[in-house]
């Protein structure tokens, strides 16, 4: 049981004995830095149950705690706040119990039910861009956090490998490509295909302008541009299984998948299961027909099938067109059911998709609940805001996106430039330098994105993210490297058992309180699907360590036991930084 839980029970017991009142809950908060204490009982909420002066009530409860709780050294009351000072021995015992615990803060896998986390889910007509980076980093990190909280997790994506947008790239390559391949061009496959998506849009706009110049209305020209009609015909042939079209589709998609794999590897994300829209786009139609018979859906006069969600504050939503073809909602219904069929232990799914799809997922989750799937209660839309650059928004068709591969390279170059300015890389080989730049650059990128609440929009500034001061990845990585330097310089066995009977320095105590919070933070981050909680916890712990480092002598401490304790304490902080950053997909360097 945690100290706070124990204190809560004792405060409830105190109030029952002193005032004959049963308290439902007790509110705690960290003690303010300007008061003496480690944890504070907020007295004001008790006044709903006890009549009296808050200072007097706090004092009486404090006296009771000092008498009945061994860990309580003393108490003081400031207005309506009971500040409790905890014995040093409690923190030293705590540290002794966890200092050798591997992966401290992570829960043991105990859940029989699994969670599937979907992220990335790109189109195969263009490379990944900055928006995909936030999606991938969020989804991957949430999956790792859920695992650390004790859940079984499957990571997945559904690849949007069919549709008119795919045919646009295919048609442009046929017309303008002259047989160009990734090998002949030196381009990654996804970049090559994206090049022809842009080429299609350019040709399409030129044809529209030509038709308008000949007197056609613009909206009509947009529908009748020859290249668009050809792309639509290509899609019809694909759906009909035309051998030539399907062969081209397979070839160009293979180029894209090879390119995606390189980007994923460079970004440090992975998947357990892949789904393809070409396999899933027909799913869901039988489910809709079954739901129609059960009265979940209704049919309109034109034969289209809908669901009425007006009682839930939404509107009517189509799930099957009048010609019997599926819409995206139908596919998503079928895909969700297919996933549970494929992985019967799934009892929840997390969809990492931008906030422009908020309404879609409200409807999807409601439909699955109405269809009677119990696991539909455990569906979550990890909705996130867009990522902007100082230069503005991105547009795929115009080729103005911020390419993921280019950004990763740019982050390495930025890290190299800033590291060179700091001039701390003496004795590094060129290979070691390159690896360090990569670690710092990617760490900067990931931390900058993940420290922000997923729902908030981000203005991403690469230079700002690689700052070695403030709430940044490199600042935290530098502190980890500093701790490793301390460990290398320590001239004794760091695992030595110590006689933990000494008094703690205030900074040691604050650091131990921070360490205590890590397991709870992991659980909170899992419950809230929020890597930001892990990122900002790590920053706070690192700030506390740096304050300790500046104010307390570590290797220079003359008392051998205290010196060894401070090195062990530093080592544990380093382990937690590494564990926390692992949940964010960030590496930490041994030297910087």
26-63 pLDDT, tens digit each: 999 999 989 999 999 999 999 999 999 999 999 999 99
In terms of Cβ atoms closer than 10 Å to its own Cβ (0-12, 13-18, 19+), residue 436 is: buried
d(CA 1, CA 224): 71
Q: What is the pLDDT of residue 47?
A: 94
Whether the predicted pLDDT of 71 surpasses 90: yes
Q: What is the pLDDT of residue 394?
A: 40
248-272 per-position pLDDT tens digit: 999 999 999 999 999 999 999 999 9
Say which residue, 402 or 79, is predicted with more confidence.
79
Residue-range domain boundaries for the chain:
3-86, 404-584
CATH code for the part of the protein at 3-86: 3.30.1360.70
d(CA 154, CA 234): 35
**What mean pLDDT value characterizes the chain?**
94
Which of the four pLDDT bands, split at 50, 70 and 90, describes residue 398?
very low
Q: What is the pLDDT of residue 310?
A: 95
Which of the four pLDDT bands, split at 50, 70 and 90, describes residue 294?
very high
Q: What is the pLDDT of residue 491?
A: 83
Whether the predicted pLDDT of 274 surpasses 50: yes
Host H or E run for residue 116: strand 114-118
- CATH classification of 404-584, choosing from 3.10.20.30, 1.10.730.10, 1.10.645.10, 3.30.70.890? 1.10.730.10
Q: How many residues does the chain have?
A: 592
C-beta of residue 153 within 8 angstroms of C-beta of residue 347: no
Q: What is the pLDDT of residue 428?
A: 85
Whether the predicted pLDDT of 393 surpasses 70: no
Say which residue, 358 or 468, is predicted with more confidence.
358
Whether the predicted pLDDT of 401 surpasses 70: no
Which of the four pLDDT bands, split at 50, 70 and 90, describes residue 354?
very high
Whether the predicted pLDDT of 396 surpasses 80: no
Three-class SS state of 302 = coil
Say which residue, 422 or 229, is predicted with more confidence.
229
Q: What is the pLDDT of residue 485?
A: 95
Residue (of 402, 484, 511) closest to 449 by Cα position = 402
d(CA 566, CA 495): 12
Share of the chain above pLDDT 90, in %: 85
Residue with tokens 């002259």: 178
Whether the predicted pLDDT of 345 surpasses 90: yes
Pairing between β-strand 81-86 and β-strand 39-42 as defined by DSSP bridges: antiparallel
Q: What is the pLDDT of residue 397?
A: 43
Say which residue, 281 or 274, is predicted with more confidence.
274
C-beta of residue 496 within 8 angstroms of C-beta of residue 100: no
Least confident of 314-318, 388-392, 514-518: 388-392
Q: What is the pLDDT of residue 391?
A: 64
Q: What share of the chain is helix, strand, coil (3-state, %, to 5)?
A: 55, 10, 30
Whether the predicted pLDDT of 334 surpasses 70: yes
């Amino acid at each position: 049981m945690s100290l706070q839980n124990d204190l809560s029970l004792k405060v409830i017991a105190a109030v029952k004995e002193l005032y004959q009142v049963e308290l439902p809950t007790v509110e705690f908060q960290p003690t303010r830095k300007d008061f003496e204490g480690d944890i504070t009982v907020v007295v004001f909420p008790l006044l709903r149950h006890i009549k009296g002066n808050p200072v007097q009530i706090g004092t009486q409860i404090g006296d009771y705690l000092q008498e009945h709780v061994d860990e309580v050294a003393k108490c003081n009351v400031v207005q309506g706040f009971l500040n409790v000072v905890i014995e040093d021995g409690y923190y030293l015992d705590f540290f002794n119990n966890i200092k050798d615990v591997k992966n401290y803060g992570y829960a043991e896998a105990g859940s029989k039910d699994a969670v599937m986390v979907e992220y990335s889910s790109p189109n195969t007509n263009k490379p990944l861009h900055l928006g995909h980076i936030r999606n991938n980093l969020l989804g991957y990190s949430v999956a790792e956090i859920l695992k650390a909280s004790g859940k079984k997790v499957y990571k997945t994506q559904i690849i949007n490998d069919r549709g008119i947008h795919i045919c646009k790239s295919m048609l442009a390559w046929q017309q303008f490509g002259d047989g160009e391949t990734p090998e002949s061009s030196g381009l990654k496959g996804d970049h090559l295909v994206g090049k022809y998506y842009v080429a299609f849009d350019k040709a399409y706009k030129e044809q529209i302008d030509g038709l308008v110049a000949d007197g056609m209305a613009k909206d009509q020209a947009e529908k009748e541009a020859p290249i668009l009609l050809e792309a639509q015909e290509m899609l019809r042939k694909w759906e009909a299984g035309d051998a030539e079209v399907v062969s081209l589709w397979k070839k160009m998609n293979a180029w894209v998948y090879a390119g995606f794999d390189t980007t994923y590897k460079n970004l440090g994300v992975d998947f357990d299961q892949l789904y393809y829209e070409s396999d899933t786009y027909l799913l869901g139609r039988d489910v809709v027909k079954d739901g129609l018979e059960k009265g979940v859906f209704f049919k309109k006069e034109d034969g289209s099938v809908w669901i009425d969600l007006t009682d839930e504050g939404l509107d009517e939503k189509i799930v099957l067109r009048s010609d019997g073809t599926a819409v995206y909602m139908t596919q998503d219904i079928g895909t969700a059911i297919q996933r549970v069929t494929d992985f019967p232990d799934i009892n929840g799914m997390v969809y990492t998709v931008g906030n422009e799809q908020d309404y879609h997922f409200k409807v999807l989750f409601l439909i699955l609940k109405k269809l009677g799937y119990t696991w539909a209660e455990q569906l979550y839309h990890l909705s996130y805001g867009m990522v902007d650059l100082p230069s503005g928004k991105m547009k795929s068709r115009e080729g103005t996106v911020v390419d993921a591969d280019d950004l990763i390279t740019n982050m390495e170059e930025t890290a190299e430039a800033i590291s060179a300015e700091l001039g701390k890389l003496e004795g590094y080989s060129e290979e070691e330098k390159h690896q360090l730049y990569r670690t710092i650059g990617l760490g900067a990128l990931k931390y900058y994105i993940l420290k922000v609440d997923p729902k908030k929009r981000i203005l991403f500034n690469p230079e700002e993210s690689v700052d070695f001061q403030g709430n940044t990845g490199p600042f935290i990585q530098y502190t980890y490297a500093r701790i490793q330097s301390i460990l290398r310089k320590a001239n004794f066995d760091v695992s030595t058992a110590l006689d933990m009977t000494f008094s703690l320095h205030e900074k040691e105590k604050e650091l131990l309180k921070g360490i205590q919070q890590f397991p709870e933070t992991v659980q909170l981050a899992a419950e809230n699907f929020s890597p930001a909680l892990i990122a900002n916890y790590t920053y706070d712990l690192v700030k506390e360590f740096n304050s300790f480092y500046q104010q307390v002598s570590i290797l220079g401490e003359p008392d051998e036991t205290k010196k060894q304790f401070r090195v062990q304490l530093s080592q544990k902080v380093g382990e937690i930084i590494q564990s926390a950053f692992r949940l964010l997909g960030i590496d930490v360097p041994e030297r910087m």
